């Protein structure tokens, strides 16, 4: 068994939290630049330029690109021939979040109890997803998920008869209902199939793909392209001030599902897509 | 199109409020107070209990923001807008106290649009997620009330050339609905 120190994980999480919040990914920057070429609304163009300028300031001044530095979600792929030593995996990640948010001047946005609502003051706890995979490495992805967009996410149990058309309508309706609240241009993550829990999980996982990359299955790639066209035809545009750029990308992930079901989850992500990965 | 942008002062006078129209781009100079979910809840509780408020809302503009902590030497951290509609349930008591403007992101409920008509107030939107850029137009930040709420505490901001767009005016005009009418295409209709 290959051993990985808990402290190494803590340090990695601390660093990834800061980097995710200061440095907008090149895939998002490229998608913004592409959309700027297509955008017809002068106001929409100005918003896209401001978003790119904001990313430049974040990068150069180590400033959080969004004041909502998000709920920290850790996606861990733990090789089954690796073991974490010197502490628990959950504690190591949680400590990394606390350190990253405190040292990095990131906002503490988490309340301990959903009803009593007292701030935990260091953005802990994170949400942690662990998958055990072949190999002896630990792949760690940190997503800092803003709640303006998370709040506009939706789920539906469609019927098999509603099929592909039902899915398309539900996704477009979700984007229209969200309007300007989730800060378009968006990255729309769709989870199709599985169970109630699995659909929402794969919707979120789809956001880990490079922005604008496509599903490997041809018919799902076509669905992504159709959704992208339709979402951008809504006219919502940057910040819902009107225009052609409502989404930078639509990602769809699927999972087998029950003969009675067609679950669909739409996880909305904003242009301020904070995501960083490392391999330990 | 910079020639369309007008400068306005905060707090806002009645004449300016009445003259603003949805879609008008503005640059604010003056004073904003910050407040979001928890501080709104407290303000409205104080009003319901008949207690004095920590700020006089007459003519004021509230900016819906919870900034990141300032680094040493910074006035404020990143400071973009939060979602306006979460404050919808708290609006009427604040308008009754003289609040004239709010700044945030995204649409508001029809109920709030109607309240703005009744109480002669306007709502502005600025660019969500451009928080490091927005912070550059904030020159001063002072703690005013509810310090225990951390980022949700009420701060007094001095702003200069703070960019926003009129989203809803005192006549009930709606910039968001107009945008969809202008830019929406037939193929996006739900079938």
Q: What is the mean pLDDT of residues A14-24?
A: 98
Q: Is B183 inside any structural domain?
A: no
The whole-angstrom distance between residue A88's C-alpha and the CA centroid of its chain comes to 26
pLDDT 10s digits, A198-245:
999 999 999 999 998 999 999 999 999 999 999 999 999 999 999 999
The whole-angstrom distance between residue A56's C-alpha and the CA centroid of its chain comes to 21
- Among partner residues A107, A233, A239, which is closest to B128 by beta-carbon distance? A239
Q: Encode A217-250: b = buried (16+ Cβ within 10 Å), e = exposed.
A: eeebeebbebbbebbbbbbbbbbbbbbbbbbbbb
Q: What percent of chain A shows pLDDT beyond 70?
A: 100
Does the pLDDT of residue B187 top 80, yes or no?
Answer: no
Q: Is B182 inside any structural domain?
A: no
pLDDT band of residue B1 (cuts 50, 70, 90) is very low
Number of independent structural domains in chain B: 1
Q: Is B188 inside any structural domain?
A: no
pLDDT 10s digits, A89-129:
999 999 999 999 999 999 999 999 999 999 999 999 999 99
Q: What is the mean pLDDT of residues B103-122?
A: 97
Half-sphere exposure of A61 (CA within 13 A, CB side): 22
Q: What is the predicted pLDDT for the residue at B185?
A: 87
Range 57-96 of B in CB contact (< 8 A) with A: 65-71, 77-80, 82-83, 85
Q: What is the predicted pLDDT for the residue at B188?
A: 74
DSSP A161-213: TTHHHHHHHHHHHHHHHHTTTT-SSEEEEEEEES-HHHHHHHHHHHTTSPTT-
Beta bridge partners of A254: A192
pLDDT 10s digits, B57-101:
999 999 999 999 999 999 999 999 999 999 999 999 999 999 999
Which residues in chain A have Cβ-Cβ distances shorter than 8 Å to B66? 67-68, 107, 109
Is the CB of B65 less than 8 angstroms away from the CB of A67?
yes
Q: What is the predicted pLDDT for the residue at A116?
A: 94
Dihedral sign (CA A93, A95, A98, A99): negative
Does the pLDDT of residue A67 top 80, yes or no?
Answer: yes
CATH code at position B29: 3.20.130.10
Q: What is the predicted pLDDT for the residue at B191?
A: 64
Using a CB–CB cutoff of 8 Å, tell me whether A41 touches chain B: yes
pLDDT 10s digits, A158-202:
999 999 999 999 999 999 999 999 999 999 999 999 999 999 999
Which residues in chain B have Cβ-Cβ distances shorter than 8 Å to A162? none
Q: What is the predicted pLDDT for the residue at A130?
A: 97
State the smallest CA–CA distance between residue A39 and chain B in angstroms. Answer: 11
Does the pLDDT of residue B3 top 70, yes or no?
Answer: no
SS3 A97: helix
Is the CB of B125 less than 8 angstroms away from the CB of A241?
yes
Q: Cα separation of A244 and A242, whole Å? A: 7
For residue B115, the enclosing domain spans 2-177
- Among partner residues A105, A181, A237, which is closest to B77 by beta-carbon distance? A105
The encoded tokens of residue A173 equal: 């309706």
Ordered alpha helix ranges (H), chain A: 6-22, 26-38, 42-61, 89-103, 147-150, 163-178, 196-206, 218-233
Q: Is B33 inside any structural domain?
A: yes
State the smallest CA–CA distance between residue B60 and chain A in angstroms. Answer: 23
**Interface ipTM:** 0.94
Q: Is B186 inside any structural domain?
A: no
Q: What percent of chain A shows pLDDT beyond 90?
A: 100
Using a CB–CB cutoff of 8 Å, tell me whether A171 touches chain B: no
Strand A138-145 versus strand A262-269 pairing type: unpaired
- Among partner residues A57, A67, A271, which is closest to B77 by beta-carbon distance? A67
Q: Is B162 inside any structural domain?
A: yes
pLDDT band of residue B2 (cuts 50, 70, 90) is very low
Is the CB of A180 less than 8 angstroms away from the CB of B131?
no
Active-site positions of B?
40
DSSP one-letter code for B52: P
Q: What is the predicted pLDDT for the residue at A23?
A: 98
Q: What is the mean pLDDT of residues B154-181?
A: 97
pLDDT band of residue A280 (cuts 50, 70, 90) is very high
Alpha-carbon separation of residue B25 from A183, B178, B182 (angstroms): 18, 15, 18
Minimal-distance CA residue of chain A relative to B107: A180
**CA-CA-CA-CA torsion for A223, B177, B7, A66, nearest 10 degrees?**
-30
pLDDT 10s digits, A139-160:
999 999 999 999 999 999 999 9
CB A158 within 8 A of CB B83: no
State the smallest CA–CA distance between residue B68 and chain A in angstroms. Answer: 5
Half-sphere exposure of A131 (CA within 13 A, CB side): 11
Q: Is B185 inside any structural domain?
A: no
Using a CB–CB cutoff of 8 Å, tell me whether A166 touches chain B: no
Contacts A–B by Cβ distance under 8 A: 164
Mean per-residue pLDDT of chain B: 95
Which residues in chain B have Cβ-Cβ distances shorter than 8 Å to A41? 183
Phi, psi (rounded to 5 degrees) for B8:
-135, 160
Q: Is B189 inside any structural domain?
A: no
The encoded tokens of residue B143 equal: 């703690």
Q: What percent of chain B shows pLDDT beyond 70?
A: 97
Q: What is the mean pLDDT of residues B42-63?
A: 97
Number of H-type helices and E-type strands within chain A: 8, 10
């Amino acid at each position: 068994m290959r051993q990985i120190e808990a402290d190494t994980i803590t340090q990695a999480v601390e660093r990834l939290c800061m980097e995710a919040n200061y440095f907008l990914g090149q895939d998002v920057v490229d998608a913004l630049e592409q959309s700027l070429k297509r955008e017809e609304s002068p106001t929409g163009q100005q918003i896209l330029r401001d978003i790119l300028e904001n990313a430049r300031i974040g990068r150069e001044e180590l400033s959080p690109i969004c004041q909502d530095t998000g709920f920290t979600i850790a996606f861990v792929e733990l090789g089954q021939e690796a073991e974490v030593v010197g502490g628990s995996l959950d504690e190591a990640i949680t400590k990394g979040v606390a350190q990253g948010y405190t040292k990095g001047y990131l906002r503490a946005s988490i309340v301990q109890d959903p009803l009593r609502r007292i701030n935990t003051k260091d953005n802990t706890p994170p949400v942690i997803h662990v998958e055990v995979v072949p190999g002896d490495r630990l792949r760690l992805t940190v997503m800092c998920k803003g709640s303006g967009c998370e709040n506009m996410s939706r789920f539906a149990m469609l019927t098999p008869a509603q099929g592909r058309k039902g899915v398309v309508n539900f996704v477009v309706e979700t984007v229209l209902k969200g309007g300007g609240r989730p800060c378009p241009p968006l990255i729309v993550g769709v989870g199709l199939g599985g169970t109630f829990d699995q659909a929402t999980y794969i919707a979120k996982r789809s956001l880990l793909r490079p922005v604008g990359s496509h599903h490997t299955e041809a018919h799902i790639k076509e669905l992504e392209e159709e959704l992208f066209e339709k979402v951008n035809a809504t006219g919502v545009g940057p910040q819902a001030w009107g225009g052609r750029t409502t989404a930078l990308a639509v990602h769809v992930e699927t999972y087998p599902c029950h003969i009675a079901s067609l679950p669909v989850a739409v996880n909305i992500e904003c242009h301020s897509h904070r995501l960083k990965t490392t391999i330990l | 199109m910079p020639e369309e942008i007008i400068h306005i002062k905060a707090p806002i006078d009645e004449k300016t409020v009445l003259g603003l129209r949805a879609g008008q781009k503005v640059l604010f100079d003056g004073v904003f107070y910050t407040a979001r979910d928890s501080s709104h809840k407290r303000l409205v509780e104080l009003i319901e209990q008949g207690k004095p408020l920590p700020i006089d809302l007459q003519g004021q503009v509230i900016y819906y923001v919870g900034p990141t902590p300032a680094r040493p030497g910074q006035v404020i951290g990143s400071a973009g807008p939060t979602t306006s509609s979460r404050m919808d349930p708290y609006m009427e008591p604040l308008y009754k106290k003289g609040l004239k403007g709010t700044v945030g992101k995204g649409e508001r409920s029809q109920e709030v649009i109607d309240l703005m008509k009744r109480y002669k107030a306007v709502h502005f939107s600025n660019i969500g997620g451009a928080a490091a850029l927005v912070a550059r137009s904030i020159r001063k930040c002072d703690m005013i009330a509810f310090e225990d709420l951390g980022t949700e505490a009420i701060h007094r901001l001095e702003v200069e050339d703070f960019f926003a767009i009129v989203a809803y005016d005192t006549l009930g005009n709606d910039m968001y609905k107009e945008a969809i009418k202008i830019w929406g295409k037939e193929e996006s209709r739900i079938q």
